[in-house]
């Protein structure tokens, strides 16, 4: 069976990038749902199922300190073709949307709910939005990706046609991400998605063809959190979407697949790790506070190419889930009146560097494959 490919809608910069909203829910009752059925009975008396905003999230994200998302790559070697590949990325920015990369936080994101291990569990129904004509294997049955998911009854998928929804259960060490999620009269539905078990030791990869990104990498892993934007400190690698990633036959770890299409010799594959030249004096640049935080994180932890989009885009945590509870999207205050499409203005994309293929993959040689700066 061919693996279904999830493609990002190619929207204008205001809607090209996945983002996320973090929400904490109260305890529900644990219930194992039967495969292929929906379990939307009201919570038992005395059990709450009401969401509330989370004030903070784990420093560096939910994945292990040893994961690809948390590694310091400021002294890593460069790809032999780093100069040409980085120029390819810079040109994609320069040639589109006034030469400014996207930073979208109001649509096409993913709302993230952090739930207790006792949260009531339900099965998610498969919506055949891609007209496959069948229910793909692996969604239901023992260990099925859509089975027994602890979704709060009042969860709100992110705005936009991607309708992404993420559920994180620290107590069971699991993560679910869904694409085109919606709640209907008979329960929760999604067009695609997947589950990661043992999140604390994971590289943020969904197995096989599951997950909500084209690369198979968790959308949550490289997204900029609201609290990170508030403090100006990001302690993890950042997801980067490109307009023209290398053809999908070429994939670089940690990505497990791709929907790239470019046959250019200098095209960058999904999964490739990039960084901002560590010698750049970020504080001297005329950047917004958020872009400055992005730049410093990109110097130490780098970017990882995760998806295809209509603009080169950095992912950020959307405020949809918080706004649904409080009535206010925190990003309006964080950005201080700067429109989302201008957040990344003046970012030095011409100073981007590309690391070797599969850099950091366990069991592979990561000795220098080229210079430590673009020639």
Contacts for 163 with CB less than 8 Å, ≥ 6 apart? 157, 178, 179, 180, 181, 182
Can you tell me the distance from the alpha carbon of 344 to that of 105, in angstroms, rounded to the nearest whole number? 13
In a 10 Å sphere around its CB, with 0-12 CB exposed, 13-18 middle and 19+ buried, how is residue 47 labelled? middle
> What single DSSP character describes residue 34?
P
254: cis peptide before it, omega within 30°? yes
| Structural tokens at position 84 | 């040409």
Contact predicate 309/12, CB 8 Å: no
In a 10 Å sphere around its CB, with 0-12 CB exposed, 13-18 middle and 19+ buried, how is residue 70 labelled? middle
| Structural tokens at position 44 | 């038992």
Contact predicate 193/176, CB 8 Å: yes
pLDDT score of 49:
55
pLDDT score of 55:
40
Q: What is the pLDDT along the chain (375 residues), one digit of tens a residue?
A: 333 334 344 433 333 333 334 444 433 333 333 333 333 344 444 344 545 444 446 677 889 888 999 999 999 999 999 999 999 999 999 999 999 999 978 877 778 889 999 999 999 999 999 999 999 999 999 999 999 999 998 888 888 888 888 899 999 999 999 999 999 999 999 999 999 999 999 999 999 999 999 999 999 899 998 889 999 999 999 999 999 999 999 999 999 999 999 999 999 999 999 999 999 999 999 999 999 999 999 999 999 999 999 999 998 877 888 888 889 999 999 999 999 999 999 999 999 999 999 999 998 865 444 455 565
CA torsion sign for 84, 88, 94, 95 is positive
The pTM (predicted TM-score) of the whole model is 0.84
Can you tell me the distance from the alpha carbon of 322 to that of 57, in angstroms, rounded to the nearest whole number? 14
pLDDT score of 324:
85
Contacts for 44 with CB less than 8 Å, ≥ 6 apart? 29
Q: Which residue has the tokens 């504080």?
A: 283
Nearest CA to 25 out of 121, 108, 127, 146 is that of 121
Contact predicate 295/349, CB 8 Å: no
Burial track 126-138 (b if 16+ CB lie within 10 A, e otherwise): beeeeeeeeebeb
Can you tell me the distance from the alpha carbon of 155 to that of 96, in angstroms, rounded to the nearest whole number? 35
Neighbours of 343 (CB within 10 A): 26
């Amino acid at each position: 069976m061919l693996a279904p490919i999830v493609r990002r809608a190619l929207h204008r910069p205001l809607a090209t990038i996945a983002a996320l909203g973090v929400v904490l829910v109260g305890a529900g009752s644990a219930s194992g749902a039967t495969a292929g059925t929906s379990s939307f009975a009201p919570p038992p008396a005395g059990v709450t199922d009401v969401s509330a905003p989370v004030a903070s999230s784990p420093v560096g994200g939910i994945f292990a300190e040893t994961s690809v998302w948390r590694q310091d790559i400021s002294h890593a070697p460069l790809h032999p073709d780093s100069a040409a590949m980085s120029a390819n990325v810079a040109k994609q920015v320069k040639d589109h949307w006034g030469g400014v990369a996207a930073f979208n936080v109001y649509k096409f994101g993913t709302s993230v709910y952090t739930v207790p291990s006792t949260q009531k569990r339900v099965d998610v129904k498969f919506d055949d939005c891609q007209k496959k004509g069948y229910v793909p294997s692996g969604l239901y049955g023992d260990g099925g990706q859509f089975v027994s998911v602890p979704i709060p009854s009042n969860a709100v998928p992110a705005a936009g046609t991607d309708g992404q929804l993420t559920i994180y259960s620290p107590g069971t060490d699991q993560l679910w991400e869904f694409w085109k999620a919606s709640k209907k009269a008979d329960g929760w539905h999604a067009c695609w998605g997947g589950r990661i078990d043992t999140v604390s030791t994971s590289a943020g990869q969904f197995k096989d063809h599951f997950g909500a990104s084209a690369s198979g990498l968790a959308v949550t892993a490289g997204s900029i959190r609201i609290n990170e934007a508030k403090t100006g400190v990001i302690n993890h690698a950042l997801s980067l979407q490109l307009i023209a990633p290398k053809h999908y036959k070429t994939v670089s770890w940690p990505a497990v697949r791709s929907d790239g299409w470019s046959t250019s010799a200098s095209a960058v594959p999904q999964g490739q790790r990039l960084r901002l030249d560590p010698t750049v004096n970020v504080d001297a640049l005329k950047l917004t506070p958020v872009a400055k935080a992005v730049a410093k994180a990109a110097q130490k932890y780098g970017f990882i190419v995760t998806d295809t989009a209509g603009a080169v885009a950095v992912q950020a945590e959307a405020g949809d889930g918080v706004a649904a509870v409080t009535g206010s999207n925190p990003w309006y205050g964080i950005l201080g009146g700067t429109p989302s499409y201008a957040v990344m203005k003046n970012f030095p994309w011409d100073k981007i560097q590309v690391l070797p293929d599969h850099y950091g993959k366990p069991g592979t040689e990561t000795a220098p494959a080229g210079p430590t700066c673009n020639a």
